[in-house]
Amino acid sequence: MHDAAPLLLLASADNVLRGLAAVLVLGVASQALASILRLPSILVLLLIGILIGPILGGLDPDTLLPNLVLPITSLSVALILYEGGLTLRFSELPQVGRVVLSLVTVGVLVTWGVAALFAWLIFGLDPALCVLIGAVLVVTGPTVVGPLIRHIRPHAPVGPILRWEGIVIDPVGALLAVLVFEVILATGVQHATLEAIKSILLTLLGGGLLGIASAFLLTQIIKRYWLPDSLINPMSVALVLATFTISDMMQEESGLFAVTVMGVALANQRAVDIRHIVEFKENLRVLLISSLFIILAARIDLESVKEVGLQSVLFAGTLILIARPLATMFSTIRSPLSVHQKTFIAWMAPRGIVAAAVAAVFGLRLEEQGQFTDANLIVPITFVVILVTVVVYGLTAGPMARWLKVADRDPQGLLIVGAHKLSREIAQTLKGLGFAVLLIDTNRQNIAAARLAGLSAIQGGVLSNDIVRLLDLTGIGRLLMMTANTEVNTLAVQNFISLFGRSEVFQLAPEGRDKKRENENKDQGESVPGRVLFSTGPTYARLASRVGHGASVKATTLRSEFPYADYEAMYADRALPLFVVAESGKLTVVTWDRPIDPKPGDTIIALVDAESPASEQVEPATPTSSPPAPTSKDSRT
């Protein structure tokens, strides 16, 4: 008997280990599957969680983590909101501030009222419970809105408005739910009023000041080198969790506001560079969202959901078709937004983890109070609303954005960093073929020359913290780093990977690493984070030398009577293929690691020498032997 107890403990520990590993693996795998299928990741996460939880019975979070699910969820949401606060810049407020303020005040009140009314009409619950359900469901949340925005990439100002609303409205909704809960349990009107005023003051003043103080402390730690760089990110996580916990101890549910303020304050200070913190938090956010949605979906009680299933679906429909459009209409009166922009904002209000967590907390407390017999219905109603809104918005928001023309289906345009002569010629050629191109450079003369040529160009540093928010990236889905500075190229590529994706960021080969043998290509590609530009991986110096000797950018359309073999024979090593435009209109950036095989109807854009260089010739993209004689039917443009 003495030997059996340790074996049972070991078995239990193994179960916990396997369960936690399964949650992490399934969460990341769901993210990958969603990326492959081009579906919103939240939708896949919910479906996988429901499948392995209540349907197959393979995961029971309450057994796996007894009494820990809600605390872990709360701490994770705090980190997610902090990361969201790090993305909010005051420089965006002149453009979006008025609408955001209206959405988190007027919009919240409208949503709250409509949700409470229809909760009473549809479920017939006690009016106090209906008011609480309405307060819980005013939130949207960055855990859902953020991934959808990154998936859809709507044009400004729609994207920033939804991002600001999704982050700011979570602490507002949590505070509103706290006020309603305290009023429900209060013994009199005077007592309820005093409790509400106390909660608001403690949240706004206590939580706000605590968040600012924590941000200031972190900046001082970085600025004064009190800790080595390796401890900065762990310290930031510790400060977030401490801020959240202390604020919640002062006033329940005020921690979300405190950590949001901390993130915003840190993002808008100018004393220290926080890019390494932002990058770490973005990676952490993916893991947290993946795990949380799997856990919360797996712990759903299907019997409770069935009890309110059809009614909850109808209730979710009223939130989608009535509450959100009305809230948007009243919040955007006299705003400069177009009808299409307002319509898309009205079609983007999925509920997320914050709604689930707040509903679970207050639903459980009301059940313990025993004052409301239907308090156990708050959680299943909220979950069905989350599921329905995620499914509806997740499947329709992308097509809706493209139909309303507030987002691009597959942006083919280029953001080119470095507005020198070659970049300007590339931009002019691509613009002539109908592609969006934006140039950015710190050199005023290069920018002036680009604008004189009728090109879109912005003077500024690509490594600036605010540069992405200042750029109009409508129609643009790729980055080309073509400056002479290898370090700048590499750093900028790392910053833009999260925006465009690793497959759509390109850079010139590092100086001193241009290849003369094919077996050197692999080493060069592994030394930089971006994909190495052009078929032979030329450096900036090589390209500048060719342009200086008279090389220019030319576009040539292949025909059946003038195939690619004839094109190679005509130009031999004088042409360096840069891009291929398929007959369908798709633009492909030529890279060293992917040979091209253009077909008749495709257009090749290449840097063509005026004559063969006298020395150090660049290898052709695809060497040929005994090339055929040039055809007279060259359809070059």
Provide the pLDDT for residue 627.
35
Handedness of CA 329, 331, 336, 337 (dihedral sign): negative
Q: What is the pLDDT of residue 619?
A: 37
CA–CA dist 193, 287 (Å, integer)? 41
- Residue 511 and residue 542: Cα distance in Å, rounded? 9
CB atoms within 10 A of CB 229: 9
CATH class given for the domain over 410-507: alpha beta
Residue ranges, the chain, pLDDT below 70:
1-14, 141, 186-192, 464-470, 512-527, 611-637
Cα distance between residue 629 and residue 631, in whole Å: 6
pTM above 0.75, yes or no: no
| First-last CA distance in the chain | 88
What is the token pair recorded at 278? 């932002």
Token pair 């010139």 is found at 508
Q: Which residues are CB-neighbours of 473 under 8 A, at least 6 positions away?
A: 153, 411, 415, 438
Q: Which residues of 274-312 are buried (b: 16+ CB within 10 A; e: fewer)?
A: beebbebbeebbeebbbbbbbbbbbbbeeebbeebeebb
Query: Helices in 319-377 by DSSP H: which ranges?
Result: 324-331, 339-346, 353-369
User: What is the model's pLDDT at position 14?
Assistant: 58
Q: What pLDDT does residue 524 have?
A: 45
Q: Are 89 and 469 in contact (CB under 8 A)?
A: yes
Any idea where the domains of the chain sit in the sequence?
Answer: 7-403, 410-507, 534-637
- Runs of H (alpha helix) within 202-274: 208-223, 232-250, 255-268
For position 489, what pLDDT does the model report? Answer: 87
For residues 497-531, one letter each, b for 16 or more C-beta atoms within 10 angstroms of the residue's C-beta and e for the rest, the string is bebbeeebbbbbbbeebbbeeeeebeebbeebbbb
- For residue 519, the model assigns a pLDDT of 45
- Determine the pLDDT at residue 280: 77
Contacts of 59 (CB under 8 A, 6+ apart): 19, 22, 23, 52, 53, 294, 298
Helices (H), 404-443: 421-432
What is the distance between the alpha carbons of residues 211 and 261, in angstroms, rounded to a whole number?
5
pLDDT at position 625 is 34
What is the number of residues in the chain?
637
Class of domain 7-403 (CATH, top level): mainly alpha
Find all residues with CB under 8 Å of 345, minimum gap 6, and list them.
99, 103, 158, 161, 162, 328, 332, 337
Rg (CA), the chain: 28
Burial classification of residue 552, based on how many CB atoms lie within 10 Å of its CB (0-12 exposed, 13-18 middle, 19 or more buried): middle
H or E stretch at 167: helix 158-185
Residue 474 falls in which region: left (phi positive, over 0), alpha (psi -120 to 50) or beta: beta
Q: Where are the beta strands (DSSP E) in 510-625?
A: 531-532, 552-557, 575-581, 587-589, 603-608
pLDDT one-digit tens code per residue, 121-170: 999 988 989 999 999 899 886 777 877 887 787 877 888 899 889 888 88
pLDDT number for residue 342: 94
The answer to whether the CB of 234 falls within 8 A of the CB of 188 is no
Q: How far is CA 216 from the centre of its chain?
A: 26
Give the bridge partners for 440, in sequence order. 417, 458
